[in-house]
Amino acid sequence: MPGIIIGAMGQQRSGKTLLMYLLAKNISTAEKIPVYTNLQADDEHFNFINSIDEIPLNFDPKIVLIDEIYNGADAQDWKILKDVSILINTLGKQNVLFLFTTIDFSMVYNRIRNQMKYAVMVKTNQRTDTINYRILDCENLGYKDFSIQKSESLFKELRYDTSYVPLDFDWTMDNFRNKLINYYRKQYPNIIKYIQRAKK
């Protein structure tokens, strides 16, 4: 799980958030691990965040779920790309399963797209009243299709606000360096001494 990125792409109201939410919820419930997300959800183990700085810096298993990721990590927003890269390139070390949704993968920063393990394409079929999913294995180039029939029972157990529009997610890592230094002080005191000597 550490370092795995799974993205879901689909038009508005297609069912992409539903899949990512259920995936996060099922893993979190089974493994008793926290979920950090910009969804408004009151599930056990779910924690609302709206910035990268709110994710704890530790090696404990965790899930990060960002809905509508382009609201903050737009492929065209070059100003925040360095901070996005720092997070994405340390997901494995931070023991993170990273999930996100987007309307189109081209809207997402390429360093996120290029490191996806699985890409999910989502489409609603109005005629059959189903949500259709195609899961692409980005490493082995295989895929698997499945469908979910829409029904009241499907949405009955959902505990996130499906009408909530996520705010622009803050990718700036203003406090990341301070958190990293504090973590090093506890885990690697000799490194901190070396850094302090090097600055003199």
Of the pLDDT bands very low, low, confident and very high (cuts 50, 70, 90), residue 183 is: confident
Whole-angstrom distance, CA of residue 74 vs CA of residue 68:
10
Q: What is the C-alpha to C-alpha distance for residues 154 and 142, in angstroms, rounded to an integer?
A: 28
Q: Give the mean model confidence (pLDDT) for residues 122-147.
A: 95
Is 24 within 8 Å of 65 (Cβ atoms)?
yes
- State the pLDDT confidence band at 33, using cuts at 50, 70 and 90: very high
Strand segments (E) across 49-94: 62-66
Q: Can you say whether the dihedral through the CA atoms of 87, 91, 96, 99 is positive or negative?
A: positive
pLDDT tens for each residue of 93-109? 889 999 999 999 998 88
The one-letter amino acid code at 105 reads F
What is the domain class of 5-171 according to CATH?
A: alpha beta
Task: Give 62's contacts (C-beta < 8 A, 6+ positions apart).
Answer: 33, 34, 35, 36, 55, 56, 94, 95, 96, 97
What pTM does this model have?
A: 0.87
Average per-residue pLDDT in the chain?
86
Which of 26, 1, 52 minimizes the C-alpha distance to 172?
Answer: 52
Query: Can you tell me the mean pLDDT for 61-74?
Result: 87
Q: Within a 10 A sphere around the Cβ of 103, how many other Cβ atoms?
A: 16
